């Protein structure tokens, strides 16, 4: 995707070179879906047309006016990024073909990017009565895990807000016993599912799963797993903390006896949660990471 701000004088200079009549109709069904620091623009494309998107902050925009940003050679769906959340933007489109000048403009559409999580939509049901305990996202695919070896994978549709995932698929290969309860899943360069018994499964696509080295829990239930700075961290009951750089060897980290319910990698360190009564516990260092805040 290429962006340019073109001075109107440059377009006027090129106008005399056009030999083909411009398109007779404006781009149809132009829609702008808001996202986090971005929007997704869709329309009904026609063969042999080259589409142009013009936009700027505010409620109005004029194609090729000074200061107006342009996406040229746009393809539906087109993501327009690096926008300010909470700021309205006006979008308008037109099209050319061959060496023609621009055809009619579409109606102006005003949309406001917003922080992720501001809007929620119902999704397609998983089709299971088991508890769903964890979710991870690869950038294009979602994987959810739950009790009794429950795993579902679904592709995220950036152009469909309701629902964003239209179909959930079950694994084609799943080596875990049917009694395994999965408590969490994370994504590094692959999906990594964690069983409450310390079992670890990995998958490149969320459908074909293989076993990795089991965490030596000593009877503790494992509740959460995260990845960051080249390190996997899993936490569980009894203050259990285990780390691994490769899912082959796991190292126990000394910690107090409070149950750890979840762990995430944030701002260069791992953050784990414990019961509210122990929210102010001290930080605990983790080998291979800057810090682990246990709260």
Q: What is the pLDDT of residues 221-266, one digit of tens each?
A: 999 999 999 999 999 999 999 999 999 999 999 887 789 999 999 9
Considering the domain 132-294 in this protein, what is its CATH number?
2.130.10.10
Q: Are 30 and 109 in contact (CB under 8 A)?
A: yes
For strand 200-203 and strand 50-57, is the pairing parallel, antiparallel, or unpaired? Answer: unpaired
Against a cut of 0.85, is the pTM above it?
Answer: no
How far apart, in whole angstroms, are the C-alpha atoms of residue 72 and residue 169? 37
Sequence spans of domains, the chain? 2-111, 132-294
Q: 3-class SS at 229?
A: coil
What's the CATH superfamily of 2-111? Immunoglobulins (2.60.40.10)
Check residue 9 and report its DSSP letter: H
Give the pLDDT of residue 232: 98
Q: What is the pLDDT of residues 120-161, one digit of tens each?
A: 777 788 889 999 999 999 989 999 999 999 999 999 887 666
Check residue 66 and report its DSSP letter: T
């Amino acid at each position: 995707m290429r962006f340019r701000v073109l001075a109107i004088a440059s377009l006027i200079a090129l106008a005399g070179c056009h030999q083909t009549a411009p398109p007779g109709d404006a781009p149809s069904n132009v829609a702008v879906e808001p996202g986090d620091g971005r929007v997704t623009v869709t329309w009904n494309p026609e063969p042999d047309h080259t589409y142009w998107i013009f936009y700027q902050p505010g409620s109005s925009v004029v194609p090729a006016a000074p200061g107006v940003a342009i996406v040229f050679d746009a393809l539906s769906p087109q993501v327009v990024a690096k926008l300010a959340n909470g700021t309205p933007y006006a979008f308008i489109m037109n099209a050319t073909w061959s060496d023609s000048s621009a055809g009619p403009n579409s109606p102006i559409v005003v949309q406001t990017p917003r922080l992720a999580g501001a809007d929620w939509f119902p999704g397609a049901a998983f089709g299971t009565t088991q508890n769903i305990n964890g979710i991870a996202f690869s950038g294009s695919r979602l994987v959810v895990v739950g009790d009794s070896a429950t795993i579902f994978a679904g592709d995220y549709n950036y152009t469909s807000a309701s629902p964003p995932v239209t179909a959930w698929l079950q694994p084609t290969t799943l080596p875990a016993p049917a009694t395994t309860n999965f408590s969490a899943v994370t994504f590094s360069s692959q999906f990594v599912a964690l069983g409450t018994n310390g079992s670890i499964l990995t998958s490149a696509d969320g459908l074909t799963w293989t076993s990795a080295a089991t965490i030596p829990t000593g009877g503790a239930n494992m509740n959460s797993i995260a990845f960051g700075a080249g390190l996997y961290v899993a936490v569980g009951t009894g203050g259990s903390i285990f780390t691994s750089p490769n899912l082959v060897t796991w190292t126990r980290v000394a910690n107090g006896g409070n149950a750890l319910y979840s762990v995430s990698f944030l701002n260069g360190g791992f953050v784990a949660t414990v019961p509210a009564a122990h929210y102010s516990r001290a930080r605990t260092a983790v080998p291979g990471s800057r810090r682990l805040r246990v709260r």
